[in-house]
Amino acid sequence: MTKAWSILPDEWKDILVAQGLRAFRADQILHALYRDWIDDWDQATTLPKDLRERLKVEFPLTRAEVRAVSRAADGTEKLLVGFEDGEAVETVLIPATGRFTQCISTQVGCAMGCVFCASGAQGVVRSLAADEIVAQYLLGRRRGDITNLVVMGMGEPFMNYDATLRALKLINAGKGPNLGARHITLSTCGVVPGFAKLAAEGIQFELSVSLHAPNDALRSELMPVNRRWPLDELLRACADYTRQTKRIITFEYTLIKGVNDSRACAEELARQVRRVPMAKVNLIPLSPVDHRPDLKTPDEQTLLMFLDVLMKAKVQTMLRRSRGKDAAAACGQLRLRSRAQDGRQAAFPPQKMV
Ligand code: SAH
């Protein structure tokens, strides 16, 4: 038994033949999956009934359901997506002029423990399988034409490398959903072995690296991953990646009041970032999280000062504005607030059920 949404379009023929089925069925199956967007084999009416019955058993469609939807005033929607074992993750849909971005999760919870991030506040429960990652995207695209996909939800993609890459390759495949590689962005907190692996894939996905501090002392305090792979090692991996792939790396820097938002931090950040050819910086004001009320968003003046220092140092920098705050869909807020007694059904207070 193999989940249909974990099979890459190019693999279908061989897999069918190995099961004693006819190779020409592959195109019909792919058409049903990724042109008709079926979510039940019975909807694949071009296929004979006995074949549909076999597909149900041997290549089941992953059952994933939208358990709740919360919608922010800015149009951002957060979906709680539940899986067959009762676990759930969150995916966020972010409309903007000319684009419709989906943010997807790769793990239930997160093991990395960045202090400012709610996803890691309760550790990791499990990694998602490739088909579960694809299922999130498929549920998203039912609600609109997704133009951009960012792997910035719950979890650390490089701690679930194989399933994440398989899912992204499937979503990118021409005979699959066919979303362009340059419209797909992976974000890592700095799990160094992932960089060389990704470079070797030869696919033009975009890569973001969560930096958040310009030196080891501060970074290790904010992000435990830095103790395992300190800045020198991380920046060397980033430089190697850009040289090998000729692709830009985007550094994410979440600004936290009085912690990493000083002029000295900005100056040190500029020096560090210049070690990596073709790097740019996204500054993101912290989205406050429930479990660390002491961490605050810097005031506007500080944000602009920080931006100014980087710009003057000729570092390509953007100051991002967080979206979806009132739906708890902003960066770092993705987390199941609590769970009901049976430990399975997530208790999620939706602002609006759809
Ligand atoms: N594990 C991956 C992807 C998930 S987090 C990574 O760390 O990159 C996506 C981005 O949101 C990361 O840059 C993360 O550091 C940032 N983030 C987490 N909590 C945040 C918060 N409270 N406010 C602003 N950004 C946050």
Among 92, 112, 225, 331, say which to mutate for ligand 1: greatest number of ligand atoms within 8 Å of CB: 331
**Ligand 1 site, residue 289, Cβ cutoff 6 A:** yes
| Secondary structure letter of residue 148 according to DSSP | E
Low-confidence ranges of the chain (pLDDT < 70): 336-354
Cα–ligand 1 centroid distance for 210 (angstroms): 7
Which of the residues 90, 132, 156, 206 is marked catalytic?
A: 90
pLDDT of residue 343: 34
**Ligand 1 site, residue 51, Cβ cutoff 6 A:** no
Concatenated DSSP letters for 151-186?
E-SSS-GGGSHHHHHHHHHHHH-TTTT---GGGEEE
Residues 293/256, Cβ–Cβ less than 8 Å: no
Among 94, 127, 187, say which to mutate for ligand 1: greatest number of ligand atoms within 8 Å of CB: 187
Residue 331 bears catalytic tag:
yes
pLDDT of residue 109: 95
How far is 157 from 50, CA to CA, in rounded Å?
38
Output 119-123 pairs: Cβ under 8 A, ≥24 positions apart. Answer: 119/153, 119/154, 119/155, 119/332, 119/334, 119/335, 121/289, 121/291, 121/335, 122/335
**Ligand 1 site, residue 287, Cβ cutoff 6 A:** yes
* 3-class DSSP state of 103: strand
Handedness of CA 223, 224, 227, 228 (dihedral sign): negative
How far is 119 from 333, CA to CA, in rounded Å?
7
pLDDT of residue 122: 85
What are the start-end ranges of the H helices in 21-97?
A: 25-34, 49-58
Q: Which two tokens stand for residue 307?
A: 């931006």
When computed from its CA atoms, the radius of gyration of the chain, rounded to whole angstroms, is 21
**Ligand 1 site, residue 252, Cβ cutoff 6 A:** yes
Q: Which atom of ligand 1 is nearest to the CA of 209?
A: 8
Residues 134/5, Cβ–Cβ less than 8 Å: yes
Nearest residue (CA) to ligand 1, atom 4: 152
**Ligand 1 site, residue 225, Cβ cutoff 6 A:** no
Residues 267-294: pLDDT tens digits? 999 999 999 998 999 999 999 999 999 9
Residues 250/290, Cβ–Cβ less than 8 Å: no
Q: Which atom of ligand 1 is nearest to the CA of 322?
A: 24
Residue 90 bears catalytic tag:
yes
Global pTM reads 0.94
